[in-house]
Structure 1
């Protein structure tokens, strides 16, 4: 649930649930001037629920960076969970653009199937239930980042990448050897808001293995460049099973295009 009126709607409702024994929250909160952290949970919610014995949550707060006195870190947020139990909670702070920060706090293990707006820095845990992931950062994602994502999100099916920064030292014609990032369950890849290097990252079979990719959202011209006008062998395999291409494209395609995407 995405909210713009958390303090006036959800919070008063929660405070009336004094007999609640089990609570599960999944919230994405916007238009608030302070993050939801451990102190807030303790003083504004949990103190009103004396019989609560099970609390599973994912709460993501978006705030503007204007007016911040210092750069906020995940460690700052983590320290606010002393009374709740830091070993059962994780936090991620991500600067998604020049004017906005996202703070995500969640109980461990993470039991939800959707996670959004995380960046290069995330906890070294396994998100075994997540099938939908959206990543966004002002710092480039390098190849090692996508290898870490594979390990942390083993059942990922939908992956959306927003990053206009070019990968560090990335050359789409490079012959450098990589540890292949294997996404065995990925079916939908959205790179419409990503730099061309990330298209290379995922379509080049020497870098990424996506055997079940059937849906791709991408800028047509970037796709054309990466695939060398739909003739490049290194990117052919990862395109072979695509059934849906979401992009603004010419009405007429070459024969090479249809050979490249035989299931369209």
Structure 2
């Protein structure tokens, strides 16, 4: 992998996971610490990240208009880290001992995995590298990985074999992420390769929980995977509009606002 490819992948990782340590990047790219620090310094100079001790954090005001930079392959909406942490904490509070869970890919769902109490025994089926990295350290979490082809832009593993594993698993709860939520055009994601996996997760769970920050409501992305009424619970932050509060209420869904 040349420098251009590596910086592009590092940028994509920051758009999925807002805070990344140098140790994580060293494991991911198998290069020297000096090389990683040079890459991070370049991204810092371009106002994309802020350097912190031991790593870096995606800047909320990160530039998204400079199309001359080859590694800015998307103009992704900047992540709302504090809101997502609160959503993840609330979602984790709904988990009960000895449940089987499916945790979808995403930066919000990563916080769910992080906030699962150490003492709560659970089985978790996942297909995201960042989710697996969180749960494997918890002694009472029993992970099941639906593996396959690795998509570095979303940290997702995807394959027909992984989808079949999800279909054969029965879960108490599925925590699903999305990039867009529309009353008319449904729940969407930017990537078509996510669709079948997300649909399998929904069909395999008793309780279906949508975990999205308020900026996703009224947004439509390319790849549709579900209608809003297919979910039982929605967890979001306090900036959700009155319009979508009413829509969720009329659909009979349980709404948690954090």
Larger helix share, 1 or 2 = 2
TM-score range, shorter chain: under 0.3
Structure with more contact order per residue of length (Cα contacts < 8 Å, sep ≥ 6): 2
TM-score (norm 2): 0.28
TM-score (norm 1): 0.27
**Which is higher, the Rg of structure 1 or of structure 2?**
1
